[in-house]
Amino acid sequence: MIATGIGYDVHRLVTGRPLILGGVEIPHPLGLEGHSDADVLCHAIADALLGAAGEPDIGHLFPNTDQSIRGISSLEILRRVRALLDEKSIIIHNVDSTLVAEEPRISPYLADMKDLVGTALNLPPARVGIKATTNESMGFLGRGEGMAAMATACVDRPN
């Protein structure tokens, strides 16, 4: 059975944290606040995959109350989601995602992000869509107070 899932994540920008998006550390004076590395892009992709698989979201699998995973790489979260799907014989066809952020410019990092996300999910980069847009200076995203990402995933689940 072909199934799709949708993922969304948002994190506040703060000082004193690295900015990690799609597994890439991007030079920027602010980073994303969170229990893990707060990579909104990977989190949205993970939730899309989990939704397509009929599983709970990453908050259930990787709760912010679990100190053993504090600071975990979101690429590791993707690897663990892939392993969960493999256990259920679920085949990932593709993922597509959009990052919403006013700055920094993301285009110089897109190829590296696709490679890293693809490697974590054992997918060729051609089956990983990553795009970026702004919020046209509107709302908290437009004021540069945070970043958000949304994603979809298409999988094949056994009946």
Query: Domain residue spans in the chain?
Result: 2-156
pLDDT, one tens digit per residue, over 56-78 is 999 999 999 999 999 999 999 99
Give me the pLDDT at residue 159, please.
Answer: 74
Cβ neighbour number for residue 107 with a 10 Å cutoff:
9
Rounded mean pLDDT, 130-149: 96
In the chain, where does DSSP find H-type helix? 40-52, 58-61, 74-87, 110-121, 139-142
pLDDT, one tens digit per residue, over 121-131 is 999 999 999 99
- pTM, entire model: 0.97
Give me the pLDDT at residue 18, please.
Answer: 97
Give me the pLDDT at residue 36, please.
Answer: 94
CATH superfamily, domain at 2-156: 2-C-methyl-D-erythritol 2,4-cyclodiphosphate synthase (3.30.1330.50)
Separation between Cα atoms, residue 38 and residue 26, nearest integer Å: 13
Rounded mean pLDDT, 29-38: 96
Whether residue 97 is predicted with pLDDT greater than 90 in this model: the reply is yes
